[in-house]
Amino acid sequence: MAGEQTQRWRRYWDKQARNYDRQMGVWDRRLFRDSRSWICGQATGQILEVGVGTGLNLPFYPPDSQLIGIDASPAMLAVARQRAVDLGAKVDLREGDAQRLDFPDGSFDTVVGTFVLCAIPDDRAALMQMWRVLKPGGRLLLADHVAGTSRLARGLQRIVETVSVPMAGEHWRRRPAEMLTETGYLIEQRERFGPAGIVERLTARRAELPSA
């Protein structure tokens, strides 16, 4: 059943690929502010972007970035590949599962995830995998919509999830920052903004071994 559900969500995101940039453009302007440039401007060394989608972050990486981007949606990746060609960006784009990253331990200096943990079925497993493929001291850069700071906001988010989770696997009440310290990260920067603090962006480093 879980496999069938995952395939259904993948088909949903494949269908969204054509209009995704326009939809996200509205969110970026009205809610997410400069989060893409804030995140990508801090990426260095060997970089992995988890959930690269249509490649909206590509223009914001430093020149000559050594970047690999993965996504579960082939249709999203097709758009990202064309964007990379248009930008003249050298990036390795491939299908991948954030919960089972197909890279050796300690492969990357930086792992990036923007507005993707909300749509990964097992976000804890994804964070553990990101920790695994980071080099010791490597940096994790995240931005996402998260559980609001007020009960009213969380109540509204819960109502939204009754539609968004079955349809697209998209969660609105996750708390990645709280999970990071449990999975072997040391948070360095953390910002929240937007109505009831529903947008969060942060930087963290791979620290101690994650607990079993």
Residue 212 has pLDDT above 50, yes or no: no
**pLDDT at residue number 5:** 73
What's the CATH class of domain 2-206?
alpha beta
Query: pLDDT, tens digit, for every residue of 157-179?
Result: 999 999 999 998 999 999 999 99
Q: Confidence class of residue 21 from pLDDT cuts 50, 70 and 90?
A: very high
So where are the chain's domains? 2-206
Written as one string, the DSSP assignment of the chain is: -HHHHHHHHHHHHHHHHHHHHHHHHHHIIIIITTHHHHHHTT--SEEEEET-TT-TTGGGSPTT-EEEEEES-HHHHHHHHHHHHHHT--EEEEE--TTS--S-TT-EEEEEEES-GGG-S-HHHHHHHHHHHEEEEEEEEEEEE---SSHHHHHHHHHHHHHHHHHH---SS--HHHHHGGGTEEEEEEEEESGGG-EEEEEEEE-SPPP-
Output the average pLDDT for the chain: 93
Residue 187 has pLDDT above 60, yes or no: yes
What whole-number percentage of the chain has pLDDT above 90?
85
Q: Confidence class of residue 1 from pLDDT cuts 50, 70 and 90?
A: very low
Q: Confidence class of residue 53 from pLDDT cuts 50, 70 and 90?
A: very high
